[in-house]
Structure 1
Amino acid sequence: MAQTNKTQATEADVTAFLEAVPHPRRRSDALRLDAIFRDVTGWTPRMWGPSIVGYGRYAYVYDSGRAGEFLATGFSPRKANLSIYILPGYADFGDLLARLGKHRHGKACLNVNALADIDEGVLRELIRAGLDDLGRRWTVEPT
């Protein structure tokens, strides 16, 4: 079952994208997130689709036969909030999430209104824990 992900890595300029975020606080938070992700991962970001800044990548093949490649971790400065992606998900990180601060989350997407609402140290722990968890399932490569 060959399927292509809708969200693919692009050659778009990450810095230009971040500096063009319209809302000043969201732009400032996005630039800070970029610094945090670069520091924690040691990787250079790439754009994934038009609005996701990704760090690292992994190739997967599910039991169903679906295969693809996706960012290992990253974020998107959305209009309503900052979306932070920890793959394969947040299911095993309840203790970290309890210490994070004000947020909402789904399976693999953490939403925060502003970085000031969360503990950056805990965010760094989450990013590292997510990458470690992903690396136990798939081979994670730098970008």
Structure 2
Amino acid sequence: MASSDSSNKTVATDADVEAFVTGVEDGTRRADLRTVLGLMHQVTGEPPVMWGSSIVGFGSRHYRYATGREGDMPVLAAAARKTALTIYLWNGFEDYADLLDRLGPHSTGKGCLYLKRVADVDEEVLTVLLGRCWQDGTQDISEAPAPA
């Protein structure tokens, strides 16, 4: 299942998602990851797949930068990091400001949404955000730009 471009560090693997989630040491972070993965599965209808050793993703899309570098990435993904649950959105946040304003406590980085605790955010808003990102990420993939 690995990408044909071996220069990309994060590629889809056949690793066991459940074993990875079970191995997350922090109990709160593990529960938050399970919750977010459940929401992602709900909005995508896709099975979760390990990307690299610590990211769980849903769906796949090909990208190509102007430099010629290209690869594959999940449309939606999450990882349980030390300081926050990280949600990866392939296209950044510009189109979702309305939802982020209503989400609750969070921070963002380039293409990443950081949640300290899923219980502190509005789960309904998070579900809508994930659903819109999925819809945007799976429409007209053949002409889609490189990720944010």
- Counterpart-to-counterpart distance in 2, 1:39 and 1:13: 19
Deviations 1:74-121 (A, max 9, x none): 100111110001111112211100000000002210000010111111
What pairs with 1:59-78 in structure 2 (closer than 5 Å)? Answer: 59-78=62-81
Q: Does residue 4 in structure 1 map to residue 7 in structure 2?
A: yes
- What SS does structure 2 have at the residue aligned with 1:30? helix
Equivalent pair of 1:57/1:71 in contact (CA under 8 Å): yes
Q: Runs of 4+ in structure 1 displaced over 4 angstroms?
A: none
Question: Counterpart amino acid of 2:51?
Answer: W
Aligned counterpart, 2:129: 126
Q: Does residue 26 in structure 1 map to residue 29 in structure 2?
A: yes
- Counterpart-to-counterpart distance in 2, 1:70 and 1:48: 8
- Counterpart-to-counterpart distance in 2, 1:15 and 1:138: 29
Aligned counterpart, 1:57: 60
CA drift of 1:12 comes to 0.8
- Counterpart-to-counterpart distance in 2, 1:83 and 1:137: 26
Which of 77, 83, 100 does residue 97 from structure 1 map onto?
100
CA drift of 1:136 comes to 4.1
Equivalent pair of 1:13/1:47 in contact (CA under 8 Å): yes
- What SS does structure 2 have at the residue aligned with 1:74? strand
Structure 1's unaligned 5+ residue stretches are: none
Equivalent pair of 1:43/1:55 in contact (CA under 8 Å): yes
Segment drifting more, 57-66 vs 34-43:
57-66
* Identity value in percent: 41
- Counterpart-to-counterpart distance in 2, 1:11 and 1:135: 22
Question: Counterpart amino acid of 2:21?
Answer: L
TM-score when normalising by structure 1: 0.90
Equivalent pair of 2:43/2:134 in contact (CA under 8 Å): no
Question: Counterpart amino acid of 1:21?
Answer: V
CA drift of 1:61 comes to 2.1
TM-score when normalising by structure 2: 0.87
Deviations 1:62-81 (A, max 9, x none): 33322211111110011111
CA drift of 1:137 comes to 5.7
- Count of residue pairs the alignment pairs up: 139
CA drift of 1:38 comes to 0.8
Aligned counterpart, 2:90: 87
- Counterpart-to-counterpart distance in 2, 1:22 and 1:76: 13
